[in-house]
Amino acid sequence: MEPEIGKSEAGIDVSAETTLSIADYLQQHESKSLLRFITCGSVDDGKSTLIGRLLHDSKLLLDDQLATLESDSRRFGTQNGEIDFALLVDGLAAEREQGITIDVAYRFFGTDRRKFIVADCPGHEQYTRNMATGASTADLAIVLVDARKGLLTQTRRHSYIVSLLGIRHVILAVNKMDLVGYDQATFEYIADDYRQLASQLGIDSVHCVPLSALKGDNVMSAATQLPWYQGDSLLSLLETIDVSRADNKRPFRLSVQWVNRPNQNFRGFSGLVAGGDIRVGDEVIVLPSGKRTRLAGVINPHGESTAAHEGEAVTLTLADEVDVSRGDVIAVADHPPEVADQFAAHVLWMADAPLLPGRGYWLKIGSQTVAAQITEIKHRVDINSQKFLAAKRVNLNEVAYCNLMLDQAIAFEAYADNRTLGGFILIDRQSNATVGCGTIDFALRRATNIHWHQLEIGRQTRAAIKGQSPSCLWFTGLSGSGKSTIANLVDRRLHAMGYHTYILDGDNVRHGLNKDLGFTDEDRVENVRRVAEVAKLMVDAGLIVLVSFISPFRDERRMARALFDEGEFLEVFVDTPLELCEQRDPKGLYRRARAGEIPNFTGISSPYQPPEHADIHLQTVSLTAEQSVELVTSRLLD
Amino acid sequence: MTHSSQSHLDRLEAESIHILREVAAEFSNPVMLYSVGKDSSVLLHLLVKAFAPGRPPIPMMHIDTRWKFREMIAFRDQRAAETGCTLHVHVNPDGVAEDMSPITHGATVHTDVMKTQGLKQALDKFGFDAAIGGARRDEEKSRAKERVFSFRSAQHRWDPKNQRPELWSLYNARIHKGESVRVFPLSNWTELDIWLYIFREKIPVPALYLAKVRPVVERDGALIMVDDDRLPLRDGEQPMMKKVRFRTLGCYPLTGAIESEADTLEAIIQEMLVSTTSERQGRVIDHDPSASMEKKKQEGYF
Ligand SMILES: Nc1nc2c(ncn2[C@@H]2O[C@H](COP(=O)(O)OP(=O)(O)O)[C@@H](O)[C@H]2O)c(=O)[nH]1
């Protein structure tokens, strides 16, 4: 389909004027390949200088940019007023003041042979997530080391992140050769060291280059100071390394982004081809549904076509009216990807608040977003040493190997086989921030092995015989807010009216079912999870369950709510100001917490997140206990 | 990871189309900001392609400062009609009430009121939750670090230190009510890519980009076109006829022309290949200290 764009009167009539030279130029420009790479190094290794040098020497700087650079060099530069190439790439003012590269910046340059997009990434451990971001779209990494220092902990860390994100080609740039007298032995020693490290990490394509970014030696072309070096300069390596995959016969996959339905006669499925080729007439399968049909047509940006290829943004039409929606995967039928709802994956955490098992997140993969939780942290990987460590949580910039569970099955591939169908991000359900990223390793089969025992007598029957609607009243609030008092009074009132009830109280449960749990964030999550599951079983049994639990975190309360059907779960916020609770202090706990005797005490040394949309909000300062009971029971029974 | 027969421009095109489709699928009320310039022309072309054979499900919006070249306005209306895209036009009524102009109020105030404030007003008025813009990372240093999906608070502020990590081509579009996202599908294009793509795809662009004999005055070192009598002449200023063209199109008293013989698209590209100044130089507003663009963006300028 050629979009209908005619010539415009006020516009330039382009169709009339085609001179050969620009057409030729376009052709040449079009035949260039694109290389996306990242540069990683630690502060002061010379990364910014190197990139500035590449931009400068490939004549990409324009007069006014050069003028700005010269004046900036005088104002902020570190080179005594000489041109400071690093300033060219340190974009944000805040970064400039601190003299460090904080965020990923993308730069563009080109030569006659290739076009380049450089992701300039910060190297410090606290910016590991930024480096992973840059690495996620790169085909190659330049790992920079200072010739005077050799391999450092950070070199190992950078190389690990490179391998984790699946970059298969590394150039080790041994910089500042001018400061070691261009000594060959120094270079060889570092290069050997690095080859060893790379093979441990499973990176098999490694090139080592000695250079001086500051002086420009061996950056664009061979340097006279390095007569012993017979290899390519950095730029000629960048121009020539072949990064295409050896196994380019990958099976066809497309994650459906958009259902294109302009009228009754057309129904197309748009997306970017995530792997392989397909031709009209080939049999395809839609996942996770498993419906099969044939490819009827392809529209690509140039118009109608008979085939779709990897990397193209296409719209497919199918031979049969099968159900397809956003997030589904269309794949070649005889070689489909797997479908599962539980995975083992590496997760890199990117948020200040730690990842906690059991907590719910959104997971986006391809064009699919599903609810997910980490069910188990198998181990943490020390990003500096790659040692496995035991862990109950994952903090900012840490990597862990985890089991994940989704609320529905999705089509996927191992990240090593397909970045699009194997790479995911995790999104916080409250702040909507991107809090983590991960790479799928393989599916866990457990989901398909557990079959729910079909209960003969349904919950309806059980509820009917008791003559009530089973439900869960979830009382949340600070210690001493009056949860137990009110819950007990409600319980008594309901019982008197002939309802079947039961109370689950924080203190009681902690003496038995949960006596193995403490008060760390992880344990609090698990504490609430177990109680919620028990309450759910009781509701299934037909009871009205009153849960009286501090349950300080919104996420856990939301998780509890998600276990129940709509209307079955009522969140009761017993809202009493901290000062008042502390004054009452019925069990003397606040006094002890203030004295530092009780760690992680809610309200004092551990946060309480008040409900945003409680079903019942009891402001106890202005209500008597009786009034509160009345509010709860009338809401429950209406 | 891409098909070998896909050219460089094909790849950029595919990436941009993928982004536009994500916007349509993930937001409930997206809009494409249309500024009439070459980048907007490319965006509009991509928008049509992304949803062919259907019509683009995303409307476009022009923030009119009332100081655009007359030709730009005519061109805008024509393109909207030709592509079948819905076009909203917004003019800041406060600016109209004060008879805001870059000449009496100065470039900075004019741009702030008519463009920055006007844009925020329009986004609030229509309740747009995503606004697609044509900015490129190669344009300016602080843009080099901006995300493709760039989060804005309910006050339209950009927080450069707290951007969402953006991995692979996975864009996080989740926001709360009142918040919004600016989306830049052309992030990875360079100025040269834009022109070559216009050439390859035969995309109409305003004729102001081509050299023609036009009336101009020289003012503060820039050649300002006398588009009509909206531009009061200063004492001693005498419009002269010069063959000029524009590398960027903004408000005409703020956009300097360059003397040029390039009166075809080919000639423009040729001229650019040997040119030694970057395009933003034509914009009077950027002649501030070099961190100024970042500051403007934090305040909500696109
Ligand atoms: N002698 C010498 N100094 C260098 C070289 N490369 C960078 N430097 C200096 O090392 C310092 C840190 O460089 P910079 O590019 O800011 O490092 P970054 O933190 O990795 O971006 C600066 O003073 C540079 O001038 C080099 O090859 N030789």
**Which residue is associated with the tokens 């410090």?**
A124
Q: Are strands A423-428 and A360-365 parallel, antiparallel or unpaired?
A: antiparallel
pLDDT digits (tens, 9 = 90+) for A293-314: 999 999 999 999 999 999 999 9
Side-chain half-sphere CA neighbours of A390 within 13 A: 0
Q: How far apart are CA B193 and CA B187, in angstroms?
A: 11
Name the residue of A48, A49, A57, A146 to mutate for ligand 1: max ligand atoms within 8 A of Cβ. Answer: A49
Decide: A355 and A414 in contact? Cβ < 8 Å: no
Cis check for the bond before B53: say yes or no (omega within 30 of 0). yes
Q: How far apart are CA B184 and CA B131, in angstroms?
A: 9
Decide: B25 and A255 in contact? Cβ < 8 Å: no
Contact B259/A at CB under 8 A: no
Q: Among A181-185, A504-508, A515-519, B228-232, where is mean pLDDT lowest?
A: B228-232
* Cβ burial, residue A151 (10 Å; 0-12/13-18/19+): middle
Q: Among A484-488, A577-581, A594-598, where is mean pLDDT lowest?
A: A594-598
3-state secondary structure of A602: strand
* Cβ contact B269–A25 (<8 Å): yes
Q: Does A97 have pLDDT greater than 70? A: no
SS (H, E, C) B228-257: CCCCCCCCCCCCEEEEEECCCCCEHHHECE
Beta strands across the sheet bearing A471-476: A501-505, A544-548, A471-476, A569-575, A616-619
Question: How many helices (H) and strands (E) would you count in chain B?
Answer: 10, 10
For A544, list phi and psi in degrees, rounded to 5. -95, 115
- Tell me what the mean pLDDT of segment A75-101 comes to: 58
Rg over alpha carbons for chain A, rounded to the nearest Å, is 31
Q: Does A271 have pLDDT greater than 90? A: yes
Single pTM value for the model: 0.76
pLDDT digits (tens, 9 = 90+) for A35-52: 999 998 877 788 888 888
Contact A265/B at CB under 8 A: no
**Residue A447 — pLDDT band, cuts 50, 70, 90?**
very low
Give the residue, A242 or B130, on which the prediction is more confident: B130
Compute the nearest-CA separation of B98 from chain A (Å).
Answer: 31
- Interface probe, candidates A4, A5, A107, A264, chain B, greatest B C-beta count within 10 A: A5
Q: Among A136-140, A226-230, A575-579, B273-277, where is mean pLDDT lowest?
A: B273-277
**Which residue is associated with the tokens 């300028």?**
B301
Token pair of A389, please? 């460590």
This complex has an ipTM of 0.86
What is the structure's pLDDT at A361? 92
Q: Among A133-142, A335-344, B271-280, where is mean pLDDT lowest?
A: B271-280
Q: Mean pLDDT of successive 10-residue segments in chain B (302 residues)?
A: 67 96 96 93 96 93 86 92 92 86 79 87 93 86 79 86 88 93 94 90 93 89 80 83 88 81 88 60 41 48 46
A551 is catalytic: yes
Kindly report the CA angle at A218 between A215 and A221, in degrees rounded to 5?
110
Give the residue, A566 or B56, on which the prediction is more confident: B56
Whole-Å CA distances, A496 to A490, A492, A493, A500, B25:
10, 6, 5, 10, 54
Q: Does A330 have pLDDT greater than 50? A: yes
Q: Among A175-189, A513-527, B161-175, where is mean pLDDT lowest?
A: A513-527
Token pair of A33, please? 């390949």
Q: Does A136 have pLDDT greater than 90? A: yes
Token pair of A281, please? 């007439």
Q: What is the DSSP string of A528-548?
A: HHHHHHHHHHHHHTT-EEEEE
What is the structure's pLDDT at A566? 84
Kindly report the CA angle at A227 between A225 and A229, in degrees rounded to 5?
110
Compute the nearest-CA separation of A85 from chain B (Å).
Answer: 13
Q: How far apart are CA A535 and CA A472, in angstroms?
A: 7
Decide: A471 and A565 in contact? Cβ < 8 Å: no
Decide: A163 and A201 in contact? Cβ < 8 Å: yes
Q: How far apart are CA A608 and CA A37, in angstroms?
A: 45
- Tell me what the mean pLDDT of segment A459-477 comes to: 84
Contact A421/B at CB under 8 A: no
Spell out which residues line ligand 1, taking CB within 6 angstroms.
Answer: A 41, 43-49, 78-79, 86, 101, 175-176, 178-179, 212-214
What is the structure's pLDDT at A496? 83
What is the structure's pLDDT at A250? 87
Contact A305/B at CB under 8 A: no
**Residue A324 — pLDDT band, cuts 50, 70, 90?**
very high
Compute the nearest-CA separation of A595 from chain B (Å).
Answer: 37
Q: Can you list the positions of beta strands (E) in A220-337?
A: 253-255, 258-263, 266-275, 278-279, 283-287, 291-300, 303-305, 307-308, 313-318, 329-332
**Which residue is associated with the tokens 């779209």?**
A137
The fraction of chain A above a pLDDT of 90, given in percent, is 50
Residue minimizing CA distance to atom 7 of ligand 1: A46
The closest alpha carbon to A57, from A182, A232, A234, belongs to A234
Contact A16/B at CB under 8 A: no
Q: Does A501 have pLDDT greater than 50? A: yes
Beta strands across the sheet bearing A140-146: A105-110, A114-120, A33-40, A140-146, A169-175, A205-210
Count CB neighbours of A321 within 10 A.
Answer: 9
pLDDT digits (tens, 9 = 90+) for A14-37: 333 444 477 777 777 777 888 999
Q: How far apart are CA A510 and CA A522, in angstroms?
A: 15
Cis check for the bond before A607: say yes or no (omega within 30 of 0). no
**Which residue is associated with the tokens 């259902």?**
A259
What sections of A332-482 are H helices per DSSP?
Answer: 419-422, 446-449, 459-466
Cα A451 from chain centre: 31
* Cβ contact B45–A5 (<8 Å): yes
Q: How far is the CA of B187 from the centre of ligand 1 (A)?
A: 28
Q: Does A364 have pLDDT greater than 70? A: yes
Q: What is the dihedral of CA A619, A623, A629, A630, to 10 degrees?
A: -110
pLDDT digits (tens, 9 = 90+) for A525-562: 888 899 999 999 999 888 999 999 998 988 889 989 98
Decide: A214 and A206 in contact? Cβ < 8 Å: no
What sections of A380-505 are H helices per DSSP?
Answer: 419-422, 446-449, 459-466, 483-496
Q: Please report which helix (H) or strand (E) contains residue A613, including its range.
A: none
Q: What is the dihedral of CA B122, B123, B128, B132, to 10 degrees?
A: 100
Q: CB-CB: which of A30, A102, A419 is closest to B1?
A: A419
What is the structure's pLDDT at A453? 40
What is the structure's pLDDT at A204? 84
Q: Pick the atom of ligand 1 nearest to A144's CA.
A: 20
Decide: A610 and A597 in contact? Cβ < 8 Å: no
Q: How far apart are CA A146 and CA B27, in angstroms?
A: 47
Q: What is the DSSP string of B177-244?
A: TT-EEEE-TTTT--HHHHHHHHHHHT---BGGGS-EEEEEEEETTEEEE--STTSPPPTT---EEEEE
Token pair of A93, please? 């003012």
**Residue A253 — pLDDT band, cuts 50, 70, 90?**
very high
What is the structure's pLDDT at B116? 86
pLDDT digits (tens, 9 = 90+) for A50-79: 888 888 777 655 556 666 667 776 666 666
What is the structure's pLDDT at B104? 79
Q: Among A100-109, A493-502, B28-37, where is mean pLDDT lowest?
A: A100-109
Q: Tell me the average pLDDT of chain A.
A: 85
What is the structure's pLDDT at A366? 95
